[in-house]
Structure 1
Amino acid sequence: MDNVTPLGGDVYEIDTRMAGYSGITAGYLILGDRPCLVETGTSTSAPVVRDALASLGVGPDDLATVVVTHIHLDHAGGVGDIAGFYPSAEIVVHEKGARHLADPARLMASAKMVWGDKLDTLFGTLAPTDAARIRALGDVGTVDLGNGRALSSHYSPGHAKHHVGLLDSLTGDLYVGDAAGVYLPETGDLRPASPPPDFDLEVALRSIELFGALGPQRLLFSHYGPVDDVPATLERSAEELRVWVDLTKQARAEGLDLDHAVAMVRDRTRERYAALQTDTATAERFELLSGAQSNVGGIMHWLDRSGT
Structure 2
Amino acid sequence: METTVRPLGGNVYEIDTRMAGYTGITAGYLILSDRPCLVEPGTSGSAPVVQAALTELGVGPQDLASVVVTHIHLDHAGGVGDIAQMYPQAEVVVHEKGARHLAGPERLMRSARMVYGDKLDELFGELKPTDAARIRSVEDTGSIDLGGGRRLESYYSPGHAKHHVGLMDSQTGDLYVGDAAGIYVQETADVRPATPPPDFDLETALRSLDKFRSLEPERLLFAHYGPVTEVADTLERSAEELRVWVDAVKDARDLGLDLDHAVAMVRDRTKDRYRMATELTDPEDIAKYEILNGTESNVAGIMHSLDKHA
- In the superposition, the TM-score normalised over structure 1's length comes to 0.99
C-alpha deviation, 1:264, in angstroms: 1.1
Residue 290 of structure 1 corresponds to 293
Q: How many Å separate the matches in 2 of 1:190 and 1:287?
A: 14
**Partner of residue 309, structure 2:** 306
**Aligned pair 1:128/2:129, yes or no?**
yes
- Count of residue pairs brought into register by the alignment: 307
Structure 1 ranges of 4+ moved more than 4 A: none
| Residues 183-218 of structure 1, C-alpha deviations (whole Å, 9 max, x = no match) | 011100110000000000000000000000000000
Shift of residue 143, structure 1, vs aligned partner: 0.3
> Which one-letter code corresponds to 1:121 in the other structure?
E
C-alpha RMSD of matched pairs (Å): 0.8
Unaligned stretches of 5+ residues in structure 1 = none
CA contact (8 A) 1:276 1:282 kept: no
Which residue pairs with 1:145 in the alignment? 146
Assess if the C-alpha contact under 8 Å between 2:3 and 2:52 holds in 1. no
Q: Using structure 2 for the length normalisation, give the TM-score.
A: 0.98
User: CA offsets, 1:66-118, max 9 Å, x none?
Assistant: 00000000000000000000000000000000000000000000001111111
Which residue identity lines up with residue 303 of structure 1 in the other structure?
L
1:107-163 deviation per Cα after TM superposition (whole angstroms, max 9, x unaligned): 000001111111000000000000000000011000000000000000000000000
Contact (CA 8 Å) 1:66, 1:92: kept in 2 or not?
yes
Distance (whole Å) between structure 2 residues aligned to residue 97 and residue 290 of structure 1: 22
Aligned partner of residue 129 in structure 1, secondary structure: coil
Match of 1:59 in 2: 60
Query: Could you tell me how far apart the structure 2 residues matched to 1:37 and 1:282 are?
Result: 27
Alignment of 1:11-22 (within 5 A): 11-22=12-23
Distance between the aligned counterparts of 1:111 and 1:261, measured in 2? 23
- 1:83-232 aligned at under 5 Å gives the runs 83-232=84-233
Q: CA deviation at 1:288?
A: 2.0
Paired with 1:123 and 1:285, the residues of 2 have a C-alpha distance of 14
| Alpha-carbon shift at residue 259 of structure 1 (Å) | 1.0
1:236 corresponds to which residue? 237
Contact kept? 2:3, 2:53, Cα under 8 Å: no
Once the two structures are TM-superposed, the CA of residue 35 in structure 1 deviates from its matched residue by 0.1
Q: Distance between the aligned counterparts of 2:76 and 2:286, measured in 1?
A: 22
Kindly indicate whether the alpha-carbon contact (under 8 Å) linking 2:3 and 2:49 is maintained by their aligned counterparts in 1.
no
Paired AA for residue 214 in structure 2: A
Q: Is the 8 A contact 1:25 1:224 kept in 2?
A: yes
Long gaps (5+) in structure 2: none
AA in 1 matched with 2:300 = G
Q: Please say if residues 200 and 302 of structure 2, whose CA atoms lie closer than 8 Å, have aligned partners that are also in contact.
A: yes
Take 1:14 and 1:227, find their aligned partners in 2: how far apart are those partners? 16
Q: Counterparts of 1:18-57 in structure 2 under 5 Å? A: 18-57=19-58
- For residue 200 of structure 2, what is the amino acid of its counterpart? F
Equivalent position amino acid for 1:208 in 2: L
Letter in 1 for 2:268: D
Deviation, 1:2, is: 4.7
2:248 maps to a residue whose letter is: L
Three-state SS of the structure 2 residue aligned to 1:87 is coil
Is 210-219 or 260-269 further displaced after alignment?
260-269
- Corresponding residue SS for 2:246: helix
